[in-house]
Amino acid sequence: MIVWGLGIGGGLALLLLGKKSEAAGTPASSERTARVLQNVNTRSGPGTNHAIIGPANTAPNDAIAGATVRVLRTKISGPGALEWWEIITPSGGRGFAAAVGTDGTPNLQLL
């Protein structure tokens, strides 16, 4: 997040908030959706080092196989080799999910 304000002496000040890894990524179109191919954990940030946003398979962490999720951003880098997508789950939970599992099996497929 970028915040503008007045600095000392009346000059403009710029403040960047958030983590670098979360700022990167490719924005999806406003109505992009994806099908969940296998149950995924929705996390608070892009990486397994971030907390899961709720109990598995329940709101707001309900990105389960067969569900459709809204996609906000794709190709977000996290720790390791996984690619993360920022999604909104069927119940409205907002978080990050790995596009492909650690075994190489796709978790999400753009529609």
The CATH number assigned to the domain holding 44 equals: 2.30.30.40
Note down the domain range covering 43.
25-110
Report pTM. Answer: 0.70
CA dist 23 → 56, 57, 70, 74, 96 (Å): 26, 27, 18, 11, 13
The gap between the terminal CA atoms of the chain, to the nearest Å, is 29
- Give the span between the Cα atoms of 31 and 8, in whole angstroms: 42
Number of domains in the chain: 1
Residue 29 is assigned to a structural domain of this protein? yes
pLDDT digit of tens for each residue in the chain (111 aa)?
Answer: 343 444 444 444 433 333 333 445 666 556 799 999 999 999 999 999 999 998 777 888 888 999 999 999 998 887 777 899 999 999 999 999 999 988 899 999 999
For residue 106, what are the β-bridge partners?
100
Residue 6 is assigned to a structural domain of this protein? no
